[in-house]
Homo-oligomer: A and B are copies of this chain.
Amino acid sequence: MRKLLIIGAGKSTASLVRFLAQKSQEQQLEITIADKNLPQAQKIAEISDHLKAESLDIFDVNDREEAVKQADIIVSMLPARFHIEVAKDCLKFEKNMVTASYVSKEMQALDDKVKAKGLTFMNEIGVDPGVDHMSAMQVIDRIKNQGGKMLMFESFTGGLVAPESDDNLWHYKFTWNPRNVVVAGQGGAAKFIQEGKYKYIPYQRLFRRTEFLKVPGYGKFEGIANRNSLQYRDIYGLENIPTLYRGTLRRVGYSKAWNVFVQLGMTEDTYVMENTKEMSYREFVNSFLPYSPSDSVELKLRHNLKIDQDDLIWEKLLELDLFNPDKKIGLKEATPAQALQKILEDKWMLQPNDKDMIVMYHKFGYELKGEKHQIDSTMVSVGEDQTYTAMAKTVGLPVGMATLKILNGEITRSGVLRPIYPDIYNPILKDLEEYDIKFNEQDVEYLGYNVENVN
């Protein structure tokens, strides 16, 4: 029996565990799920007899080291900032490890030592980052191997509500951490490059500078620029690509309405408001509008942001019950972002029967033998229920697959890794197709931007 230790029983762990449990007999796995919260680990473990739940406080060095020492491979599903502690143990006891998180500076710094011991520390193998890396690199490498030259790479991912559960005007529900959604885009301008020109979008314009995308079978979406589209330029080997853009997907119309919150200052997270415990939703809105006792909060908002009487944005605001004078924020010392999150959670929580959906869209523009081409590649994954969500599946499955492939010696590359190498992404993408996580490629006309001549 091979011992597999999963540390952290969070939202994505259930899908990972189900996948591994199904393979446990054939693969001779003894799987332990360790979490500080034992009942949470037990709940995940109860689906199979091959699973064991254990209490583990990762800040107890002895317990943590003991757990790592006994395992053959370790999967850290902890919050990203805690991986490094596990990684140090893995290095000490010479164990391979897998995480779905971004490679931190501290993690990257271990690379030489990890390589020297011939270990594999696989990271960024969830959905975003993860499936995005693999699906993008597969096409980029193919184009390069054919002798093509990359002209454009645009990539969009969105965690959304599935069409069958899409029953609000925003066409959005929280399928992951609500806080990240409320503060998304803050902390600096979005930077990208188009036709060799660097472009910057400040936060206050971000939600008005979207572009539309059509996903076959799923209709139209809009893409909002991510903060740093250039982050993976070198890692993807796209140093000289003239157009590189990464974004987040929402349903059409979301951003224009969300911009109301941005403009009013409701998404700010840098200061605490007065009296938020007793503040009504209506008072919250009024805090961001001029004082004028002869006018309603509604008209002040409409006037201030120039929202026409027949604008659907207005219906979206009403749907959130934003002007309710009786509902209270009820949070002590809340920032505007925290108060807004509270209001949105009333309406945007996934209901017991709701399903979520992950949508990914890549555009690859390239030149081959003097001709320009474009491939559009899309992937849609719909969740099964509230446990086996699309988010959990698209994170958990690639993590599980990578773990098995490392354990079985199918992945042998050593170092602190991302899944950007053919020997990693090819077998995993193939396996993911069995779980209906597959990309639909289309050759489309390359339009680029240089439609005319000027400027």
Measuring CB to CB, which residues of chain A are less than 8 angstroms from any residue of chain B?
Answer: 187-189, 191, 194-195, 197-205, 209, 262-265, 268, 270-271, 273-275, 286-297, 304, 336, 449-455
In the assembled complex, 26 residue pairs joining A and B whose CB atoms fall closer than 8 Å, in A order, are: A188-B268, A188-B270, A188-B271, A189-B265, A189-B271, A189-B336, A191-B271, A195-B293, A197-B287, A198-B275, A200-B288, A201-B288, A202-B264, A202-B268, A205-B263, A205-B288, A209-B290, A291-B449, A292-B449, A293-B450, A293-B451, A293-B453, A294-B451, A294-B453, A294-B454, A295-B455
Q: Once the chains are docked, how many angstroms separate the CA of A82 from the CA of B141?
A: 57
CA distance A195 to B294 in the complex (A): 13
A293 and B263 in contact, given A274-B198, A287-B198 (Cβ under 8 angstroms): no
Residues of B within 8 A of A200 (CB): 265, 273, 287-288, 336
State the main secondary structure of chain A at its contact with B.
loop
Q: How far is the CA of A290 from the CA of B211 in the complex (A)?
A: 11
**Is B189's CB under 8 angstroms from A293's CB?**
no
Nearest CB to that of A193 among chain B residues?
A: B274
Residues of the B chain whose Cβ atoms lie less than 8 Å from the Cβ of A209: 290
CA distance A288 to B209 in the complex (A): 11
Query: Bound complex: CA of A262 vs CA of B205, how far in Å?
Result: 10
Closest to A245 in B: B291
| Distance between Cα atoms of A455 and B452 in the complex (Å) | 54
Chain B proximity of A337: nearest CB distance (Å): 12
Instruction: Tell me which residues across on chain B come within 8 A of A450, comparing CB atoms.
Output: 293
Q: Kindly report how many copies of this chain are found in the complex they form together.
A: 2
Q: Which residue of B lies closest to A279 (CB)?
A: B198
Shortest CB-to-CB span from A432 to chain B, Å, is 34
Give the Cβ gap from A100 to chain B, nearest Cβ, in Å. 28
Excluding A197-B291, A199-B289, A201-B265, 5 further A-B contacts by CB distance (< 8 Å) are: A189-B270, A189-B271, A202-B264, A202-B288, A293-B451
Contacts of A336 in B (CB 8 A): 189, 200
Minimum distance in angstroms from A55 CB to a CB of chain B: 43
Please, which residues of chain B bring their CB within 8 A of the CB of A304? 205
Once bound together, how far apart are the Cα atoms of A289 and B354, in whole Å? Answer: 39
Known: A201-B288, A204-B263, A287-B197. A189 touches B295 (CB 8 A): no
Question: Given the complex of chains A and B, what is the CA–CA distance between A377 and B454 in angstroms?
Answer: 56
**Residues of chain B contacted by A203 (CB below 8 angstroms):** 204
Complex contact A204–B454 (CB within 8 A): no
Nearest CB of B to A267, in Å: 9
A91 to B273, CA, bound (A): 39
Q: Are B454 and A295 in contact (CB under 8 A)?
A: yes
Known: A268-B189, A271-B189, A455-B294. A197 touches B449 (CB 8 A): no
> What CA separation (Å) do A263 and B204 show in the bound complex?
6
Q: Which residues of B contact A455 (CB under 8 A)?
A: 286, 292-297
Residues of B within 8 A of A197 (CB): 286-287, 291
